[in-house]
């Protein structure tokens, strides 16, 4: 009998300032994705809180020990017997006015298997009037992280990291066959760049890309583009969310990764 291909899901949410509401919605979407066959579920950046900037400091928790949010998500992993990637988790730092934007991989037993801290911080003034200065309240990470999942070796990144292809080269060098990009892409940048960049990273790295996303209106002028998706290593979008909350679901075909890398061996042809 041919073994079943593992399924993964990229969740799409509209998180706001109400943590309880956000976590309850995350739990519902994870359970639905697992019921649909997903063994690995990726939650988007800011899944627990996407409200005014000052609110995140009180929510930050130490890692790997965690607090109420991590405890709840660990219980969800154990209940569903699924691996979870918490796409944007606010981690405490010694500075009470700084957090880290961490991507946390939980095993199906609820234990922390890996933590990646976002390397590239989003400081921009956009034409629509949106001003974001992530570095004002976030401390950048320094390490590149690949973690083992039941679906393959997963390279971790967060949102704005997507614009820096050298990160994904390093993840592939560390053995990644899957990449995850949990995000809260703004509406302004997302409509022009989201699909192009995700497909480019998939093609360059010859990996599956699992991109969870925030969508819709959060607070004030903050809006996210959405379109959570999964791309295969040829750059084809195999599953994508439309409007509203939900999840993209796809099977991971390890044989396809091998075929693509054999047919077009660009990773072996690198000279720099």
Q: HEC profile for 185-198? A: CEHHHHHHHHHHHH
The pTM is what? 0.95
Domains in the chain, please, with CATH?
A: 7-263 (3.60.110.10)
Residue 184 pLDDT exceeds 70: yes
Closest by Cα among 49, 6, 10, 2 to 33: 10
Three-state DSSP state, 220: coil
Among residues 7, 45, 83, 245, the one annotated as catalytic is 45
Q: What token pair was written down for 158?
A: 């967060």
Q: Assess whether 159 carries a catalytic annotation.
A: yes
Distance, CA of 242 to CA of 247 (rounded, Å)? 9
- pLDDT, one tens digit per residue, over 84-105 is 999 999 999 999 999 999 999 9
147, 156 contact by CB (below 8 A): yes
Reference 141, options 112, 104, 176; nearest CA is 104
Catalytic hit among 159, 240, 241, 245: 159
CA-based nearest residue to 54, from 96, 13, 14? 96
pLDDT in tens, 112-165: 999 999 999 988 776 766 677 888 899 999 999 999 999 999 999 999 999 999
Joined together, the tokens standing for residue 203 give 């093609």
The pLDDT of residue 37 is 98
List % helix, strand, coil for the chain (3-state, nearest 5).
30, 30, 40
- Tell me if 85 sits within 8 A of 40, measured CB to CB: yes
What does the alpha-carbon distance between residue 52 and residue 55 come to, in Å, rounded to a whole number? 6
Is residue 46 flagged as an active site residue? no
Q: Could you tell me which residues come within 8 angstroms of residue 81 by beta carbon, excluding any fewer than 6 positions away? A: 34, 108
Q: Is 45 a catalytic residue?
A: yes
Per the residue annotation, which of 113, 118, 207, 240 is the catalytic one? 118
Q: Are 218 and 88 in contact (CB under 8 A)?
A: no
pLDDT at 272: 86
């Amino acid at each position: 009998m041919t073994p079943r291909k593992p399924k993964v899901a990229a969740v799409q949410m509209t998180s706001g300032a109400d943590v309880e509401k956000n976590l309850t919605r995350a739990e519902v979407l994870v359970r639905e994705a697992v019921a649909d066959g997903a063994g690995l579920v990726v939650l988007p950046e800011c899944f627990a809180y996407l409200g005014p900037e000052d609110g995140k400091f009180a929510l930050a928790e130490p890692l790997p020990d965690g607090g109420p949010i991590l405890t709840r998500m660990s219980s969800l992993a154990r209940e569903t017997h699924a691996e979870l990637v918490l796409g944007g988790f606010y981690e405490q730092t010694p500075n009470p006015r700084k957090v880290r934007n961490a991507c946390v991989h939980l095993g199906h037993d609820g234990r922390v298997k890996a933590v990646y801290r976002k390397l590239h911080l989003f400081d921009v003034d956009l034409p629509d009037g949106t001003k974001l200065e992530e570095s004002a309240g976030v401390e950048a990470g320094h390490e590149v992280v690949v973690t083992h999942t039941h679906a393959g070796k997963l390279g971790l990144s967060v949102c704005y990291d997507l614009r820096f292809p050298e990160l994904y080269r390093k993840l592939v060098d560390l053995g990644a066959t899957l990449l995850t990009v949990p995000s809260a892409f703004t509406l302004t940048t997302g409509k022009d760049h989201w699909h192009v960049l995700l497909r480019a990273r998939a093609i360059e790295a010859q990996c599956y890309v699992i991109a969870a996303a925030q969508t819709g209106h959060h607070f004030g002028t903050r809006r996210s583009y959405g379109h959570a998706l999964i791309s295969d290593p040829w750059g084809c979008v195999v599953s994508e969310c439309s409007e509203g909350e939900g999840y993209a679901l796809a099977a991971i075909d390890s044989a396809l990764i091998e075929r693509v890398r054999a047919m077009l061996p660009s990773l072996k042809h690198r000279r720099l």
